[in-house]
Chains A and B, each alone.
Chain A
Amino acid sequence: MNRRGAILILTIGVCAMIAALALGFIARTRIDALEMSQVMRQAQARVMLSAACAYVLESGRIGWDDPSDNGTPDSIQEAFGWVDVRSGLVGPRDRAGGALYSDTKVLKRRVTDAAATLPNWPAIGGVCLAPMMVYERPPFAIDRNITPNPIVNIPAQTDFGLPLLKNEEPRAQFSPDLSAAATVAQRWTDWKTGSRVIPGDANSPLRLRTSGDQQAWFRLKRDSPATFVATVGCGGTLGYRDWDEVEVRGATARFANDQAFFEQLLDDEIRMWYRLEWSPAIRSTGPNYGGAHNGIGTNLGMQRWATTINQAGTIAFIQRLRSPPVEW
């Protein structure tokens, strides 16, 4: 008996058409995802511009303590700005006016160079790399629970509807493995140690969050006393300029000792260059002495005026560079 497969052919054809449409749909979605990835990298790189500005502002004053002399008198090193606000000399300088930087050239540009030509950060000409990986649980982490004291909505309970503050807020973020019966000392140690590669070992590197492939970073090059070239990016190079720099800084192992791998990461990366200037000026509280905190006539509006935005300076200008400068 002859069999004809008209229906089958028709069905297969229809299925094929649907499959083709689905394939197109998936391909489109895939392209969208790739394009969106670039947008996300652009956004994250731009966030790094804010981070770079914040770092410039803060590090003009803090972050220069030498832990080796802790415990001795006058051992906490703080600075007075990238241009010392007391003298106008190049900073950062400590309380006694001593430079917290060294102009000594210690870094080569290529491992094959005969001599070092770059000083260490924060000297003028120095470079600071800041890969902004996310720690799993950094030291002194704060619990991200923003509602530690929810209002009970069960009428049968005696505290129904009452805004009781039964739990402290904010709360420390402890290790999930920490015993509920841990002593205060154990809790303190856990809190200040954070999540380490070797759990509990404060000398072990902090554990990084592995989810996500968007690695944002910034790097700063100080090109004059108060100006910086800020390079911001998002990708896998961790902010190393090129393979030469990876080699000079001894970081080849971070890229499996594979230059081609680094170059591939570089190709997929977004980088933008800015120049910015630090200014020691902070927002003025103005003449409202009578309206300052705890002053006569204080009200909310005056409190706002009497509050400075920061105590570490401001950014005088930000300029996007249309092309990367020779030095960055």
Chain B
Amino acid sequence: MSWPFRPMPESRKAFTLIEVTIALGVGMFVVITAYAAIRSASQTIRAADRLALENRLLRAGFIYAMDELDYWSMYDDPDAPAGSEGRRLRGVTTDTLPATFEGVASTPYFPKRSYGLPFTPLKDLPPANEFADGTAGFTGLASGGDGNFAAADRGWTLRPGAPLLLSASGVTDLAVGGAVFTADRDRGLDPHRPYQANDPATWYRGSVMETTLGRRDLGRYGLFSNLKKTPLLGHGEDARDPGWRKADIATNGNSGYPGFAKYTGPFGRQTAAESRTFTRYENRTLYLFESLGNYACLDYLPANTMVGLHGLIFPWPAASFGSRQDVATNSGFIDAWADPTDATITLVSVDEAVDWRLSGMTTWDWVWERGGSRRLGANRGGRGKPLASSVTQVNGNTAIAVVPGGSYSGAYNVGYEVHDAMDNGDTGVPTGAQLSARSLAISQRCSYAGPLTQIYDATKTISRIMQVVPLMPLRPSTWPDLRLGVTRTAVDSRFLNSCWIRWLDQSTGQEVEIELTALGTTLRGARQQRHQDGGWATFYGVTYDNTTGVLWDNPKSGSMTGYSTAQNNDPTLDYPTVPAAVGAKRSGP
């Protein structure tokens, strides 16, 4: 051993290359696995977050949809400023009344030619129509009733709050004479008078087998019930009324002419004292239609209403009294029907005929061929022979909708489509602009699509009547775009509230849609939710009392001007300007 002695170095702690290789491999495997695990977990969480977000949005959309079904805020926002788009469906379109009507100065009598929208407060519309002879309706005395609303008249009228419900004579009230006429005094809409089956004022008295253009071979039913208390029988007395001509009848049958045949009158009219003609039925129905439009008409009227109304007053172009082709060319009553502001249109009256506009006029060929009639009950009774229809039938195969007319509804296109069909359009309105009140008024008085047998028609219809609102206009750019679409239609005699909840995934471009229908507040209920001066109506909680007649929604004290305490609550859209005036026309206490 040599000096200096060097011991053998201790074996150092180290890895062999193989060990390092294996260790690195295992380590890498662990790290990669861990990374993959984290990555997978984070992706899962991200996906879950995304799905959770979409689910949350879906839930929000659902809740929003339910609220909308209950409050109609997308159609009318009571909290929006007056005149703003939020309250766009409260307008009134008014035309100037003709200076004369039936040879005498015009009176505030049908047609009032002021057309409201579904949320127009009744106070903004002219008062309900009066009788043509200027009277305030049957006073009871003239018609044989006592008119004092005493016990003998009770039982005919019943409404929430009426303290006189329990008649002294009990169920034998049906035998009381004269009360029939007392009950006929109501005009327009009395928000406190519910429909009653026992109320003669709600009974239909027309002939359901007679066509609107019939010759009254089955009887002169226009005498039983009419817009006027003293209707003129037979052909109208207005010389402008073309009526039917024998030559036309020989050629074309009796289709296509709005009046009676020229050789069927006029036969004169009864005196007021002779008259036993009921008038409430016609006036109420027509008042609702004129005031609020088609949908409201269906919503408010009882389900068994017949809409064959005696008292035809049809618009007529002043310069055209020729053949039916002239009528078509000049868009005679068609335009007047669609365009209440057309000042060139004058009016011709045939009291005994049935107003076809509600009951099912099938119109002329040219309208038919151009996409189907847009009138209520268009397909009723066969072409040229419209019968008096029930509200069920007029809605049998057409969609009656509330046209939203808002910026988010595609309303411009909606309105334009409607107007195209009606040959009446806001052609000068730029794309994206709001519909005018006039256009909205027209839209609310159309029915849409007819039989939904073609997908094109169905799609077009839905696009017309759907209100779409982006629920998150200020959302983060990566969030899905959530929208709620709502349609409110009466289809096949059923009210249908449809909601579409849609969202567009910004990352995938996928669009998802959920459609649902549900029961909610009706249009009348929505109008009752709203204060006639804006905002929401406030109700109080006093229960009905059989003794005092206190209403459920009355305040406990105080009295609103014009109302008795028993009628006191916040005035809703259904309340008139002068409640006392309406109260005076009421048939009950």
Q: Do A and B come from one complex?
A: yes
Decide: B524 and A316 in contact? CB cutoff 8 A: yes
Write out, one digit per residue, whether chain B residues 162-177 have a CB within 8 A of any chain A CB (1) or not (0). Answer: 0001110011011000
Q: Which one of A70-78, A184-192, A233-241, A273-281 is at the interface?
A: A273-281
- B37 on the interface (CB 8 Å rule)? yes
Decide: A21 and B41 in contact? CB cutoff 8 A: yes
- A172 on the interface (CB 8 Å rule)? no
From the candidates A39, A225, A282, name the one contacting B59 in the complex (CB within 8 A). A39
Q: In the assembled complex, which residues on chain A have CB atoms less than 8 Å from the CB atom of B520?
A: 46, 49, 318, 320
Q: In the assembled complex, which residues on chain B have CB atoms less than 8 Å from the CB atom of A173?
A: none
Decide: A224 and B521 in contact? CB cutoff 8 A: no
- B522 on the interface (CB 8 Å rule)? yes
From the candidates B37, B45, B173, B526, name the one contacting A88 in the complex (CB within 8 A). B173
Q: Compute the total of residue contacts between A and B using a CB distance below 8 Å.
A: 226
- A18 on the interface (CB 8 Å rule)? yes
Q: In the assembled complex, which residues on chain A have CB atoms less than 8 Å from the CB atom of B44?
A: 21, 25
- B552 on the interface (CB 8 Å rule)? yes
Decide: B525 and A317 in contact? CB cutoff 8 A: yes
Q: Which chain B residue has the least Cβ–Cβ distance from A327?
A: B543
Docked Cα-Cα span, A53 to B302, in Å, equals 16
Docked Cα-Cα span, A66 to B261, in Å, equals 60
Write out, one digit per residue, whether chain A residues 31-71 have a CB within 8 A of any chain B CB (1) or not (0). Answer: 01001100100110010011001000000000000000000
| 8 A Cβ contacts from B338-357 to A | none
Decide: A124 and B546 in contact? CB cutoff 8 A: yes
Decide: B393 and A305 in contact? CB cutoff 8 A: yes
Decide: B539 and A325 in contact? CB cutoff 8 A: yes
CB distance from A254 to the nearest CB of B (A): 26
- B279 on the interface (CB 8 Å rule)? no
Write out, one digit per residue, whether chain A residues 1-22 have a CB within 8 A of any chain B CB (1) or not (0). Answer: 1000001001100100110011
Docked Cα-Cα span, A276 to B71, in Å, equals 15
| 8 A Cβ contacts from A249-277 to B | 272, 274-277
Decide: A28 and B49 in contact? CB cutoff 8 A: yes
Decide: B194 and A277 in contact? CB cutoff 8 A: yes
Q: In the assembled complex, which residues on chain B have CB atoms less than 8 Å from the CB atom of A85?
A: 196-198
Q: Which one of B151-159, B280-288, B400-408 is at the interface?
A: B151-159
Decide: B56 and A125 in contact? CB cutoff 8 A: no
Decide: B541 and A305 in contact? CB cutoff 8 A: no
- A321 on the interface (CB 8 Å rule)? yes
How many chain B residues touch A (CB < 8 A): the figure is 79
Decide: B171 and A125 in contact? CB cutoff 8 A: no
CB distance from A1 to the nearest CB of B (A): 8
Decide: A316 and B302 in contact? CB cutoff 8 A: yes
Given contacts A25-B44, A318-B521, contact A289 B209 (CB under 8 A): yes
Decide: A321 and B388 in contact? CB cutoff 8 A: no
Decide: B63 and A319 in contact? CB cutoff 8 A: no
| 8 A Cβ contacts from A199-240 to B | 221, 223-227, 229
Given contacts A88-B198, A319-B521, A322-B536, contact A286 B59 (CB under 8 A): no
From the candidates A43, A103, A320, name the one contacting B70 in the complex (CB within 8 A). A320
Docked Cα-Cα span, A318 to B529, in Å, equals 11
Given contacts A14-B38, A85-B198, A320-B71, contact A283 B521 (CB under 8 A): no
CB distance from A182 to the nearest CB of B (A): 42
- A298 on the interface (CB 8 Å rule)? no
Decide: B197 and A39 in contact? CB cutoff 8 A: no
Write out, one digit per residue, whether chain A residues 118-132 have a CB within 8 A of any chain B CB (1) or not (0). Answer: 000000110000000
Q: Which residues of A contact B (CB under 8 A)?
A: 1, 7, 10-11, 14, 17-18, 21-22, 24-25, 28-29, 32, 35-36, 39, 42-43, 46, 49-50, 53, 81, 83-90, 93, 97, 103, 124-125, 221, 223-227, 229, 272, 274-277, 279-289, 304-305, 309, 314-322, 325-327
Q: What are 12 sample pairs from A and B whose C-beta atoms fall under 8 A apart?
A: A21-B45, A39-B63, A50-B519, A83-B198, A88-B198, A89-B171, A226-B160, A286-B208, A286-B390, A316-B302, A319-B524, A325-B553
Q: Which residues of B contact A (CB under 8 A)?
A: 13, 27, 30-31, 34, 37-38, 41-42, 44-45, 48-49, 52, 55-56, 59, 62-63, 66, 70-71, 155-158, 160-161, 165-167, 170-171, 173-174, 194-199, 208-209, 299, 302-306, 387-393, 396, 493, 518-522, 524-526, 528-529, 536, 539-544, 546, 551-553
Q: Contacts A14-B38, A39-B59, A322-B71 given; 16 further ones with Cβ under 8 A?
A: A1-B13, A18-B37, A32-B56, A88-B157, A90-B165, A90-B166, A97-B170, A225-B158, A226-B160, A281-B197, A284-B393, A287-B306, A318-B521, A319-B524, A320-B521, A321-B539
- Give the 10 A-B residue pairs with the shortest CB-CB distance, closest first: A326-B541, A287-B208, A319-B525, A281-B302, A284-B390, A224-B160, A320-B70, A85-B197, A14-B34, A286-B390
